[in-house]
Amino acid sequence: MNENFLSRHRQLLIVWALLLTVPFWLPMLGGYTALAGRVVVFALAAMSFNLLLGFTGIMSFGHAAYFGLGAYGCGLFMKFVTASTLLGVLAGTLVGGIAGTLFGLLLVRRRGVYFAMVTIAFGQVCFYIAYKWDEFTGGYDGLRGFARAPIDFGIFKLDIAASNNAFYYFVVAIFGLAVGLQALILKSPFGRTMLAIRENERRARFLGIPIEKHIWLAFSISCFFTALAGSLYALLNNFADPLGLNYIMSGNIVMITVMGGMRTFWGPLVGAVLFVALQDYVSSMTTNWMFFVGLTFVAVVLFFPRGLMGMLQKRAGT
Amino acid sequence: MELVLFNLANGLIVGAFYVLMALGLSLIINLSNVVNFAHGNFLAIGGYLAFTLTPYIGFWGALLVSPLLTAVFGYFIEQVLIRHVYARNHIYSLLLTFGLGFILQDVCRFIWGPSPLPLGIPDILSLPITEELFFITWYRVFMVAVVIVAVSGLFAFLRFTRVGMRIRAGTLDLDTVSALGVNVAALRSYNFAVGSFLAGLAGVLAAGQIGLNPNMGDDLIMPSFIAIIVGGVGSLTGTLLGGLLIGVAAALTTVFYPAGAEAVIYVIMAIVLLIRPRGLLGEEGMLT
């Protein structure tokens, strides 16, 4: 029984053992804890995105919009309303999620490249608003003037402002809740329906499943989670960047997902590790980072389309 | 009134650019189902090639040769990279051209340097057409004329040549075209080259007006997407209409509310998606 539990949940145990011990081993590898925070935030964004790409078979290329709206929503709320971290995260999640839900209404009947193009265009709308609305959003320079504040739980106080490790564990805790919820959604009848739509939309439609409604719901859920990741990103940097809304960011989210393995649950987390490591390394080595990042994209598409996790799973024969 | 006229003329010119870009993109989407994210970088390459060629063969020569070289380059890229992802999930072609765009942008920066460069145009073209219409140079008139010629040429090519007819047929039903013995792989390559030609031509024209920089295509790619969405996927005439519409709409908005110039094209897109989801001239059921 015990052994069975171990083997069945091996992936889960490895992931959490590594995530929870980051502050102990990452400095030994020459990293710093904030880097791990970035990995976890990007992983959450990419896993949320993967609910659509990997599990519903729907291709959004504009998830930066909801990520960025989450960041701006959180930042603006903390700057202008109240400096509470948790309420800021909630506000950011709602802003991005509701925007995604509304955009989703216009999207659900599109498919394939057309769906992707419309999502890109919506993403750019948000980018231009953040970019142009200087006095409110800080325009090109991004939004500053807010900072994460310690969280008072009554019995103890979590000082996420001063301690990077405390903030990292705060992010990991939210990550855990979010992906746990995602796993539950995927296990639910609704999640099974998402898979059915991915596998054969026409057949699912013949079974009487209201496809448009399900895609809309899946899109909306994905956007709420992505916006949550965006809020955490704003807290991580104490800064919201208009480039976080740009389609290049959308491309990065897609890349993280594909690089890790879009048909696997933990793939995007693995992809986030690879992506952040690559980004950090390449931008410290050369100013021509675009060339190398682009080359990686091309190489992954041509030679490793299953992503790292996909390849490992295929080798293991599962 | 003069301001409105000026912006109307401006809008037509900008719209003409969008049309050139969007028609190339649209051709490739229709036949190959690939959204070429690197299309703006093909435009930049066309412009830079003209810059390099002008000292040897002059502006007029470069205007002819540079788009042709861009077409050859596009053909090459299609052969080496893009054709491998046709059979796969669309996400791969998006990622591939997205990465390709990064690479090409850095390549341009590496070869021609990061700072903006001017493209010399013949003196006659830089003169205003009349004293009163001082804001319209001959170059602007010339650009519109070239676009008209190119677009007419494209439509004639698609209507009257064998390859063109096959491209149109393939847009509607590629399987049948293939079953009739047409080499679909080659057809897609030619089609990609034609799309690249249009991008290259737009690049030369844009370089003469606004100069060259490595990311000059970035500002044009998004309006081109919107032109296609507004016009309706699958319809080249729709793309033509969509490009002109958003160009003129953006320019006229500049007169009354300058800050909204970029926003208005997205508003148009949202309205079209709301009341006519398939786009202005899109056919029901095409690619949706």
Residue at B164: amino acid letter: G
**Each residue's pLDDT tens digit in chain B (288 positions)?**
777 777 888 888 888 888 999 999 999 988 888 889 899 999 999 999 999 998 899 889 999 999 999 999 999 999 999 998 888 888 888 889 999 999 999 999 999 988 888 887 777 777 777 766 666 778 888 888 999 999 999 999 999 999 999 998 888 888 888 889 889 899 999 999 999 999 999 999 989 888 898 888 888 888 898 999 898 877 888 999 999 999 888 888 887 877 777 788 888 888 888 888 778 887 765 443
Count helices and strands in chain B by DSSP H and E runs:
11, 0
- Residue A218's nearest CA partner among A253, A249, A186 is A186
How many alpha carbons fall within 13 Å on the CB side of residue A169? Answer: 12
Size of interface A-B (CB pairs under 8 A): 122
Q: Is B114 an 8 Å CB contact of chain A? A: no
Q: Is A109 in contact with B100 (Cβ distance < 8 A)?
A: no
Nearest CA in chain A to B106: A291
Q: Is A121 in contact with B84 (Cβ distance < 8 A)?
A: no
What is the Cα–Cα distance from B284 to B288, expressed in whole angstroms? 8
Q: Which of B85, B102, B287 sits opposite A112 (nearest CB)?
A: B287
Interface of B with A in 53-82 (CB under 8 A): 81
What is the Cα–Cα distance from B115 to B31, expressed in whole angstroms? 37
Write out chain B residues lying below 8 Å of A301, CB-based: 85, 92, 95-96, 99
B62 and B54 Cβ atoms separated by less than 8 Å = yes
Structure tokens at B223: 């309006």
> What is the ipTM score, two decimals?
0.84
Residues 6+ apart with CB under 8 A from B62: B49, B50, B51, B53, B54, B204
Any idea where the domains of chain A sit in the sequence? 31-245
Q: Is A114 in contact with B98 (Cβ distance < 8 A)?
A: no
Structure tokens at B200: 């290259």
Any idea where the domains of chain B sit in the sequence? 19-217
pTM (2 d.p.): 0.87
- Alpha-carbon distance B40 to nearest alpha carbon in chain A (angstroms): 14
Q: How is B186-250 classified by DSSP, letter by letter? A: HHHHHHHHHHHHHHHHHHHHHHHHH-B-TTTTHHHHHHHHHHHHHH-TT-HHHHHHHHHHHHHHH
What is the Cα–Cα distance from B94 to B98, expressed in whole angstroms? 6
Which of A114, A216, A262, A292 to probe the B interface (max B CBs under 10 A)? A114
Residue at A224: amino acid letter: F
Q: Is B111 an 8 Å CB contact of chain A? A: no
